[in-house]
Amino acid sequence: MTGLIRAELRKLAKRKLWWVMLAILVVVMGMAAVFLLVVPSRAPEAVPGMPVIRKPDAYILGAQQAIGQTWFPIVLAAVAMGGEMRSAAFAASLVRDSRRWAHLLARLVVLAAASWLATLVAIGGWAIMAAAFAPGEGAPPSSEWLGMVWKSGLIVATWTALAVAAVTVFRSLGPALGAALVFSFVEGLVSLWEVYRPFSLSTNSTAMLGELSGFDAGFGVSALGTIPPGRATAVVVVWAVGLIGLAWAALQLRDA
Amino acid sequence: MSVALALRDVHKRYGKTRALDGLSFEVPTGVLLGFLGPNGAGKTTTFRTILGLARPDRGVIEVLGMRVGPETNRIAKRVGAIVEEPGLYGFLSGRDNLVVAADTLGFGHGRIDGLLAFVELTGDADRKVAGYSKGMRQRLALAAALLGDPEMLFLDEPLDGLDPAGQSVLRDQLRRLVDEEGKTIVMSTHDLADVSQLADRVVVINRGKVVTEGTLEELTAGGDRVRVVVGAPDEARRVLAAAGFETDGAASEIWVTGSDGAGIVRALAEAGLYPSAVIPERRTLEEVFLRVTEESS
């Protein structure tokens, strides 16, 4: 397993993919920080009605924004794995029964860790912006910061598993990437439906971090308070396990 | 001689297409087997099935005495393969490709430098593979297949698309692996000249089953004939027929079945006919291939 992880790390480290995506993530998060943190507090007349997010909620909002960038783990995992599909490496390592779990998990671990690291960079960058521009005092306690770290890891791993599952099902980069991105968007919309909301991956991902006072992070609906963080975490874990199982089944049931 | 590979009554369907239809053959240890067949004959499916990349619907495959399926994990450690597009990463250097392959397959890095030298890529080892020629990629893929010092290699059209120089280098390397290291190689190819030059044994398949197999000698035996070039072909045909020879051919060229060149010359000379050429020839592998594949289609 160590060798497999080393191989995946080497493949990822030798590509520009992660760095390019990190640069895009920084730009996206920077724009969001300016719009949500800087403008409401420094130039409220430019965004009338926009609530001013105060500390310590401003920090939590950053974590929510960062984990909301689901395109990052999806694109990273789909492109990294999808590029191998036409080569014998994919077939030899994943489709063959032997060591399939090890190969699958090595890819998941490395790709999720890479996306997690980028998410932590985004959370850290946002925290600096929040410290500088958000009004109010205080910061989340260290236990809450630690919670943000591991929770963002779980959430990013789940979206990574979605992309990996899509790649193994479609065996083609374009359709896999498209399906995973469309799913992430549509799933967010469908989560507005009350019956589905308790099971929604995107809603529960946000709920894991807790609700902000007086601010709706998504689609103008604030129903997160109805989902306790513990239950939300359990739902996300079920999603992660289900998606990994789907990836395994897609490999098991279909030849190279 | 022990058996390195045995397939017994292997069947594989893709939808309505019968890719393998009771395929059975054996490969002795320490030989280079030319695995031939027309397009769609089932060569790549055979390789994928042997390597555990596709599951047979029925039948038994044994590699180095181990059953494919329950023992695929152990087999994978003792065989190397290039099937279809080699698993190389263009964004990595040649050396990094081998490092990644070694880590992925669970082999050490100790053989990497030696293998780069063997495939004559030491000087290009730190260049990105995206800039390699097809021949260099094939040689690197061969090095990757050899990382675990396998006893057996499966190579799917390894010489396809290479220039003559690249083909020559790779042919020499494959032959050395068999002659000097005692490895068993199963090589599929469309090029009958490659097989004629390289292979110890040949298996020809069509429509998912074996249509003929044996050594080159065995396959081309029984087709000996003599080409006779003579000024009066019609009269020569009559003379040879009267002398008990079976003839064929058109215009000034006469084909005489058998290998009795001296008897042909004697019969013609006694009739006052003096041939300008009497050339003994054997049946070619190409003729054998075309005949058996046409018969089985």
Q: With an 8 Å Cβ cutoff, is A253 touching chain B?
A: no
Q: What is the CA radius of gyration of chain A?
A: 19
Residues across chain B: 297
**What is the model's pLDDT at position A112?**
95
How far CA B80 is from CA of A141, A198, B105, B144, B185, in Å, comes to 55, 50, 10, 8, 9
- Look at B88 and A96 and tell me if their CB atoms are within 8 Å: no
**What is the model's pLDDT at position A252?**
78
Q: What is the pLDDT of residues A197-245, one digit of tens each?
A: 889 998 888 888 776 544 444 434 444 457 888 889 999 999 999 999 9
In one letter, which amino acid is B13? R
d(CA B220, CA B268): 28
In one letter, which amino acid is A209? L
**What is the model's pLDDT at position A98?**
60
Q: Band the pLDDT of B190: cuts 50, 70, 90.
A: confident
What is the chain B residue with the closest CA to A83?
A: B89
Residue A150 has pLDDT above 70, yes or no: yes
d(CA B263, CA B243): 9
What is the chain A residue with the closest CA to B13?
A: A255
By the 10 Å C-beta count (0-12 exposed, 13-18 middle, 19+ buried), A194 is classed as exposed
pTM higher than the cut 0.90: no
**What is the model's pLDDT at position A223?**
45
What is the chain A residue with the closest CA to B86?
A: A88
d(CA A48, CA A65): 21
Touching B: A residues 88-147, CB under 8 Å: 88-93, 95-99, 103
Number of domains in chain A: 1
Residues from chain B that touch A4, judged by Cβ atoms under 8 A, are: 103-104
d(CA B68, CA B75): 7
Inter-residue contact B24 to B176 (CB < 8 Å): no
Q: Which domain holds residue A227?
A: 2-254
Inter-residue contact A101 to A93 (CB < 8 Å): no
Inter-residue contact A111 to A73 (CB < 8 Å): yes
ipTM of the modeled complex: 0.73
Strand, helix or coil for residue B278: strand
Q: Band the pLDDT of A43: cuts 50, 70, 90.
A: confident
- Look at A255 and B91 and tell me if their CB atoms are within 8 Å: no
CA distance A61 to chain B (A): 38
**What is the model's pLDDT at position B66?**
92
Q: Which residue has the higher pLDDT, A180 or A84?
A: A180
